[in-house]
Amino acid sequence: MYAICELNQIPNRRAASFVLARQHDDGQARPWLIFVVRWGKHVLGYENNCPHEGVPLDWERGQFLDGEGLRIQCGKHGALFDLGTGECVAGPCLGRGLTPVQLIVDDEGDICVTGVVLAEDDDFDSGCGVE
Ligand code: FES
């Protein structure tokens, strides 16, 4: 379990991006781009990778939500994704979905990534990407 950010660093109903280093089975560490949406005391995490063209969703850093703040929107061609499931509900990747990231908020109020092995690597940018 890896703490990546304090819950309170992400404003309610906003999202933040992170560049982490994930350790793979072949022993290599590679950049792992994820984002976290905060909804009150709850958080939702997905890989920052649009299933349409495999590019990051936030063409403006930290901008992941549509104008109403109710769905995730890709900045490139505007695909919309359900906030809770990551499923594409409109746009060119209809029927496909974002890859979920397991998160928990611990007793200290830190957002933590679980279910993966992360590498310590100073070459990768990290930290709370809220603009
Ligand atoms: S790259 Fe995301 S909708 Fe096309």
The string of pLDDT tens digits covering residues 104-122 is 999 999 999 999 999 875 5
Ligand 1 site, CB within 6 A: 50, 52-53, 55, 74, 76-77, 79, 91-92
Residue 122: the pLDDT is 53
Which atom belonging to ligand 1 lies closest to the Cα atom of 78? 3
Interval between CA 14 and ligand 1 midpoint (Å): 20
Give me the residue label for tokens 């349409």.
Answer: 52
pLDDT attached to residue 47: 98
Can you give the pLDDT at residue 25? 87
Low-confidence ranges of the chain (pLDDT < 70): 121-131
pLDDT at 7: 97
Domains annotated for the chain, with CATH where assigned, are: 2-113 (2.102.10.10)
Q: How many CB atoms lie within 10 A of CB 88?
A: 23
The predicted structure's pLDDT at residue 100:
98
